[in-house]
Chain A
């Protein structure tokens, strides 16, 4: 290795030794930038000139000896130090060792020895610096990323947690270390509330990376629950490629969930406004048709009847008027059945089924108590529309011949179900939200309920709307 112009400070109280060292080193191409005889002087020099290497005699003039001087240099600067000493008593060497010197030169030494020790020291220093640097980089990265990172060993015990992981789990690293991972990473499935196998344990032993399921809730140390997600599980590998643990990383999803929740709330409000607006408008048009146009036609007819004696064509006109009246009633009823205003849901559904049965000549029946619970007009309309849509789908798309609509108030739920013997709702339709399924779903949702659909060729299709009775009472 070609010695480069490395700047060296010699700290040596013996002038002769110092001079000899200087000459030897400079002859070899090193740059000796200073020579101090006391520790105090050396500290000042290092402060000012920052040499790249210090040769330090342990015995020095002044208050500080070489070991003490080296200790002080170490705390302030990152400079490799080599001790030069005639002493070889164990306690001094022990003291010197703690300062992590980069080498020892024991007097008397040969010139060649000096170069070897210096080159070794410089090489070691460079390697260590690089290692330190990469370690620092790694730690700052791991420590500053917002993702929680937990490292566990093969026995599922915690090796390390970064500050994000500490914050989410509320376990300080000092307490978490050596704990079984299940104590710290206490998880449950958000929906079912159960989780028998900790997902962190599944990938262990495998060499490939994986991830934990989404929608997990983490129980914090203080008993809170935090949604986590976007996780990754990577094996911690030894040099020989054997797994010796697992790196688990995940994110705190609280904010994201909150954002999602807000978005869906806005969406729900929008849907609600849309559907309610639609119903209001339908109601208005239905009323206009029924009370305005319809009544006008009726009045016209009365006068026409009065004039029958005098005009022969009046009876023809009467027939036309009848048709016009029926048409206006029909349109009005389609838009908003008048019954919904005057009767409870069970009666309306029963009547709807018998009418549908009459017009389609199919077996459309209603099961349920005689009267439904009190509910707001909009709830009633929503249930009614879902039933309408469901029966309509069964007739038109599923080609059913038997349709059964059921209304049930049971325990905490009000349940409307529409079941048919048709060819079943195709999954494709379900996914695409075809055939008014989206509308049914939206209506169920704005009532605070859920809509389930299933169907197959053998059993036909089944739509179940389930709304908590509490929610219905809230609306009322």
Chain B
């Protein structure tokens, strides 16, 4: 691994300087360029053909996720590490979906970033400690939330009440009177229920809910 070319894209000069300083310790690495906006990052990537792009998400004009998509569309082999302040699951999973090879949160830089650079350059992925924790947590919540297929629909108390009344043949107006709520609210519940249960009409709805054993 000699003389690896790296491009840094971040709208803050201070951060760019910081990354430069951090990576400057590695002798075989050359920072070939810096970009302050998303568009500049794409242009410089084309011009400089770096081996690695360290990319921020929050940038003026184009965010890091869009830059990632654009670059990978033209160069599927591109190696991108996201270095962002965002530690939300949404950003992380979206970046992974778009094909970044590493994700490091800014506040953990230092050894994490250096390690990420090393891994990605040899073709491995690298997700920092904190990022891994976030991904794992989401994965485990998803697992624990996953119910047997039949039970995938969760209904609120009101919704169950409404389905019961639908099955008794009441009209929206009658239900509204009975529950002392507005007819519009009943309509909202109905629409929600039909969407939620993936059915097309009230009859299918009642059948499905009965099948689920909710009433």
Asked if A466 is at the interface of the complex by the 8 Å CB criterion, the answer is: yes
Asked if B73 is at the interface of the complex by the 8 Å CB criterion, the answer is: no
Asked if A93 is at the interface of the complex by the 8 Å CB criterion, the answer is: no
Number of A positions contacting B (CB below 8 A): 45
Smallest distance from the beta carbon of A421 to chain B beta carbons, Å? Answer: 6
Asked if B154 is at the interface of the complex by the 8 Å CB criterion, the answer is: yes
Task: Report the Cα distance A329→B58, complex, angstroms.
Answer: 13
Instruction: Check B109–A302 contact: CB distance below 8 A.
Output: yes
Smallest distance from the beta carbon of B197 to chain A beta carbons, Å? Answer: 11
- In A298-340, the 8 Å CB interface with B consists of 298-299, 301-303, 305-306, 308, 321-322, 325-326, 329, 338-339
Asked if B140 is at the interface of the complex by the 8 Å CB criterion, the answer is: no
* Chain B hits for A476, CB < 8 A: none
* Chain A hits for B191, CB < 8 A: 408, 410-411, 415
Instruction: Produce 1/0 per residue, A432-464, CB < 8 A to B.
Output: 000000000000000000001010000110101
Instruction: Check B196–A367 contact: CB distance below 8 A.
Output: yes
Instruction: Check A419–B58 contact: CB distance below 8 A.
Output: no
Number of B positions contacting A (CB below 8 A): 42
Asked if A365 is at the interface of the complex by the 8 Å CB criterion, the answer is: yes
Instruction: Check B21–A452 contact: CB distance below 8 A.
Output: no
Task: Report the Cα distance A351→B188, complex, angstroms.
Answer: 23
Task: Report the Cα distance A338→B87, complex, angstroms.
Answer: 11
Instruction: Check A354–B141 contact: CB distance below 8 A.
Output: yes
Smallest distance from the beta carbon of B78 to chain A beta carbons, Å? Answer: 21
Task: Report the Cα distance A294→B107, complex, angstroms.
Answer: 9
Most buried by B among A295, A404, A462: A295
Asked if B74 is at the interface of the complex by the 8 Å CB criterion, the answer is: no
Instruction: Produce 1/0 per residue, B134-161, CB < 8 A to A.
Output: 0000000100000000000010111001
Instruction: Check A454–B14 contact: CB distance below 8 A.
Output: no
Asked if B47 is at the interface of the complex by the 8 Å CB criterion, the answer is: no
Asked if A296 is at the interface of the complex by the 8 Å CB criterion, the answer is: yes
Smallest distance from the beta carbon of A10 to chain B beta carbons, Å? Answer: 84
Instruction: Check B109–A305 contact: CB distance below 8 A.
Output: yes
Asked if B106 is at the interface of the complex by the 8 Å CB criterion, the answer is: yes
* Chain B hits for A459, CB < 8 A: 157-158, 161
Instruction: Check A294–B85 contact: CB distance below 8 A.
Output: yes
Task: Report the Cα distance A291→B63, complex, angstroms.
Answer: 14
Stretch at the interface among B26-34, B36-44, B178-186, B207-215: B178-186
Smallest distance from the beta carbon of A405 to chain B beta carbons, Å? Answer: 11
Q: Which residue of A lies closest to B66 (CB)?
A: A342
Query: Given that A302-B19, A411-B191, A417-B188 are known contacts, is A460 also in contact with B58, CB under 8 Å in the complex?
Result: no
Smallest distance from the beta carbon of A360 to chain B beta carbons, Å? Answer: 14
Asked if B15 is at the interface of the complex by the 8 Å CB criterion, the answer is: yes
Task: Report the Cα distance A302→B156, complex, angstroms.
Answer: 49
* Chain B hits for A306, CB < 8 A: 21-22, 25
Q: Which residue of B lies closest to A326 (CB)?
A: B107
Stretch at the interface among B1-9, B88-96, B115-123, B164-172: B88-96
**13 further interface pairs, Cβ-Cβ under 8 Å (given A343-B94, A404-B156, A464-B188):** A290-B58, A290-B85, A298-B107, A298-B109, A299-B12, A302-B19, A343-B90, A408-B191, A417-B188, A419-B156, A419-B158, A452-B185, A454-B185
What are 20 A-B pairs with beta-carbon distances under 8 A?
A296-B14, A298-B15, A298-B109, A299-B18, A301-B110, A302-B110, A303-B18, A305-B111, A306-B25, A339-B88, A342-B57, A351-B90, A367-B154, A402-B156, A410-B195, A415-B191, A452-B184, A462-B158, A464-B184, A466-B184
- Nearest 3 A-B pairs (CB), nearest first? A302-B18, A305-B110, A299-B14
